[in-house]
Structure 1
Amino acid sequence: MISATQTLQGETRDAIVVGGGLVGAAIAYGLQRQGLSTLMLDEGDIAHRASRGNFGLIWVQSKGLGAPHYQHWTHGSAQAWPGLAEDLSEATGIGVGLHQPGGLHFCFSDAEMAQRDALMGQLRREAGNAGYEYRMLSVAELRDMVPGLGPKVVGASWTPYDGHASPLHLLRALHAAFQRAGGHYRPNARVEAVTAAPHDFSVSLGTAIVRAPRLVLASGLGNADLAPLVGLAAPLRPERGQILVTERTREVLALPTHVVRQTDEGSLLLGDSKEDMGFDTLSQTPTIMRAIAQRAVQTFPWIAELNIVRAWAALRVMSPDGKPIYDESERCPGAFLANCHSGVTLAGAHAHLLAPMIAAGALAPEMSPFSARRFHVQKAA
């Protein structure tokens, strides 16, 4: 393992992963497991740190409407999650808090229920032979599953694939497992320049240079500037979300929902907001925080008895259509791009499905719909 004080001058590895968040760490861990000597470059606290503000859902329902490739990718990641959690626990002793009992999306009117049922039905049709299991649950059924529902809840959709985990424990476990497998981690490593040729990449970190035949850009919003250096495009924008955290309480919520989940420690996380605020994560919007709290109390009135102990804002990494971008460079083969806003949900896919493709030197044909080239086609149309 290379310490923060050792030089990287002249070092050569099998792969370099730029990005130490959930996406980069999962891919780096997967590459190291494939037998590639991998270096993970982590920019440090000057980065936007989207992974540390993640809500923690492993969420399949509602993902990929009109885009079966995205639905299959998300479903495949959810299926890979138990194996990933077990591997990380065995390698590091760190539990990532995985629970996959299914998840609930609540509806507050008969019209919402009908609309939700239609959406879920379309997802099932688009799944084809892969299958897509879901149920629309009445409020009577829900009362047997979750306690203290509010009077305005009329039902919910449920799929067995959904769950949740601790983003912070996951990030720590990925880093620890990566390094224990022989991976090389460089903290506070800001990429100053990239020199690219087919299967030959030199990354400058100021006074240090490292080379590899494979380069993976997984630095979130930072990819917008890095991608063009290797002949790729990363049209990305930040979308701010806010989360409220309650004091700890006894276990009262066995299933995660799209707006409330309970952690292993007992706190409730309340969230699911969307704001166009640029790169601002320091301020918070009181009206948004109030709306988050009101929706949570509307769903579970007993939440009103709990104290809010902290809150934060974080940035999602959003493409123009909200779907992930996975790409490989035609100009510089060996360079890959990975961007998504679902670092927890897709951790299983990144470690167990995407990393083997990168190790083999090419993305599978079924990954082509994720290429950023889709935006050029849309613009031309």
Structure 2
Amino acid sequence: MDVIVMGGGLMGSAATYFLARRGVKVTLLERNRVGTGATVASFGNIRRTGRYLPQLPLAHRSRALWGEAEKLLGRDVEFRVTGHIRLVFEEDALGDMRKFIADARPWGLDVEELGANEVRARFPHLGPDAIGASWMAEDGCGNPRLICPAFADAARALGAEIVEGAEVRDVVRTEEGFSVETSQGTFSAERLLNTAGAWGARLAARFGEEVPLTAMGPQMGVTEPLPHRIVPVVGVWTRNPSDNYFRQVERGNIVFGGGAGRPEVDLETGHAKYEPARLPVQLRGLLRMLPSLADVSIIRTWSGCEGYVRDSLPVMGESETTPGLFHAFGFCGHGFQLGPGVGDVMAELIATGKTETPLHDFRIGRFAAAA
């Protein structure tokens, strides 16, 4: 068996590694450089709190792999078990948090609830007006700039072919499988894995599978270096769709996102931009979470092109129109934690025809069934 993986973000690079680890002949095609798309723009959050419940088996599998990443890949990708706290400021959000904690327990996720006094005692710099929080000690963060090249290099060491600068010109089904014409030549394989991110829906549509996906750009920023005082990743429970989040990296900078919505991105160029007018909105939300940021300088802002599916769930699994075609795209800005697990699951599915991790809710045919 041989496989072409289209798209060298975290999903594609991880899948390439796990396919090669299973002895599959695999070629990864990336139009730019591995890991320079949505992954490098990511916040780096590795959290399971607040996820869609049937996604938790995948999240658990991925969290276990994050814990093994340095051993598997032969380098430090800055995975750190810092813990993950989500603050609560409104009563309705407190109810939402408590419901999630109760509902997640049968799915193997034991989230701790913290009262207002406990938040202030354990995390004195955070959320002075918070009425509570959730705490997940085993979650944390990783470095988005390191993880994809690490997976790609480890896959190459196992015999995978990594082709960068390969602009795709055509993809066709053949008697033998698939043929992909690129600026770096034509590649053929029995099977094709679509990990093309925000462009994944376009590839799926070529094979008669429509996915309602919109490309949008997260609004991200980073502060000047500060004394290191904030260990956990910090988020917020809210019914506001533009929730804030931040973390302090080991070098002292505060990396932040959310709080300002996500502008749409033109897929023809794929150029996502940070919109400066959104910064004051972000900062107001961040100051509620961390008041000491009031006099801190912002040194850089950025964005990236992410794919958001209409129902906020990814597309994963086999094509329902084309034998040999598989999909893993549209992770709606929530894919960083899932990445290693997605790669492992897709490799298992492609190599064996089945997977122990349930994917039914993420099947591509759900949109045709709803039409």
TM-score (norm 1): 0.86
**In 1: Cα distance, 2:104 partner to 2:34 partner:** 39
* 1:70 and 2:59 aligned: no
Matched-pair contact (CA < 8 Å) for 1:230–1:335: no
CA-CA distance at 1:115 after TM superposition: 3.2
In structure 2, relative to structure 1, the CA distance for the partners of 1:151 and 1:332 (3 Å cut) is closer
Aligned to 1:167: 144
Deviation string 1:199-220 (CA, Å, 9 cap, x unpaired) is 6111111572211111111111
101-110 or 194-203, which moves further after superposition?
194-203
**What is the percent sequence identity of the aligned residues?**
26
Aligned to 2:364: 372
In structure 2, relative to structure 1, the CA distance for the partners of 1:336 and 1:282 (3 Å cut) is closer
In structure 2, relative to structure 1, the CA distance for the partners of 1:199 and 1:268 (3 Å cut) is farther
* 1:213 and 2:190 aligned: yes
Q: Secondary structure at the match of 1:76?
A: helix
**In 2: Cα distance, 1:158 partner to 1:46 partner:** 34
* 1:103 and 2:84 aligned: yes
Deviation string 1:217-248 (CA, Å, 9 cap, x unpaired) is 11112122211334444432112210110111
Q: Secondary structure at the match of 2:229?
A: coil
Matched-pair contact (CA < 8 Å) for 2:58–2:357: no
* 1:191 and 2:181 aligned: no
**In 2: Cα distance, 1:282 partner to 1:374 partner:** 29
Aligned to 2:30: 42
Aligned to 1:3: none
CA-CA distance at 1:14 after TM superposition: 1.3
Matched-pair contact (CA < 8 Å) for 2:34–2:152: no
217-226 or 270-279, which moves further after superposition?
270-279
**In 2: Cα distance, 1:203 partner to 1:140 partner:** 59
* 1:122 and 2:103 aligned: yes
Structure 1 unaligned blocks of 5 or more: 1-12
**In 2: Cα distance, 1:41 partner to 1:20 partner:** 7
CA-CA distance at 1:26 after TM superposition: 1.0
**In 1: Cα distance, 2:176 partner to 2:357 partner:** 20
Q: Secondary structure at the match of 1:104?
A: strand
Matched-pair contact (CA < 8 Å) for 1:231–1:330: no
In structure 2, relative to structure 1, the CA distance for the partners of 1:46 and 1:289 (3 Å cut) is farther
In structure 2, relative to structure 1, the CA distance for the partners of 1:207 and 1:189 (3 Å cut) is closer
Deviation string 1:120-140 (CA, Å, 9 cap, x unpaired) is 32333xxx3x42201221232
335-344 or 34-43, which moves further after superposition?
335-344
Pick the aligned partner of 2:2 from 8, 11, 14. Answer: 14
Deviation string 1:3-40 (CA, Å, 9 cap, x unpaired) is xxxxxxxxxx8111010111111111111111112111
Deviation string 1:255-314 (CA, Å, 9 cap, x unpaired) is 111211112322111112432423375543334211211221211111223211101122
Matched-pair contact (CA < 8 Å) for 1:27–1:354: yes
Corresponding letter in the other structure for 2:264 = M
Matched-pair contact (CA < 8 Å) for 1:326–1:337: yes
* 1:275 and 2:262 aligned: yes
Matched-pair contact (CA < 8 Å) for 1:245–1:268: yes
Matched-pair contact (CA < 8 Å) for 2:314–2:328: yes
Aligned to 1:177: 154
In structure 2, relative to structure 1, the CA distance for the partners of 1:48 and 1:29 (3 Å cut) is closer
In structure 2, relative to structure 1, the CA distance for the partners of 1:34 and 1:198 (3 Å cut) is farther
Matched-pair contact (CA < 8 Å) for 1:75–1:161: no
Aligned to 1:145: 122
CA-CA distance at 1:363 after TM superposition: 5.3
Pick the aligned partner of 2:248 from 262, 278, 284. Answer: 262
CA-CA distance at 1:376 after TM superposition: 2.3
Structure 2 unaligned blocks of 5 or more: 236-244
**In 2: Cα distance, 1:133 partner to 1:196 partner:** 46
CA-CA distance at 1:177 after TM superposition: 1.3
Pick the aligned partner of 1:203 from 159, 173, 180. Answer: 180
**In 2: Cα distance, 1:228 partner to 1:47 partner:** 24
**In 2: Cα distance, 1:162 partner to 1:84 partner:** 14
TM-score (norm 2): 0.88
Q: CA RMSD in A?
A: 2.4
* 1:356 and 2:348 aligned: yes
In structure 2, relative to structure 1, the CA distance for the partners of 1:291 and 1:176 (3 Å cut) is same
Corresponding letter in the other structure for 2:348 = P
Corresponding letter in the other structure for 1:87 = L
In structure 2, relative to structure 1, the CA distance for the partners of 1:43 and 1:318 (3 Å cut) is same
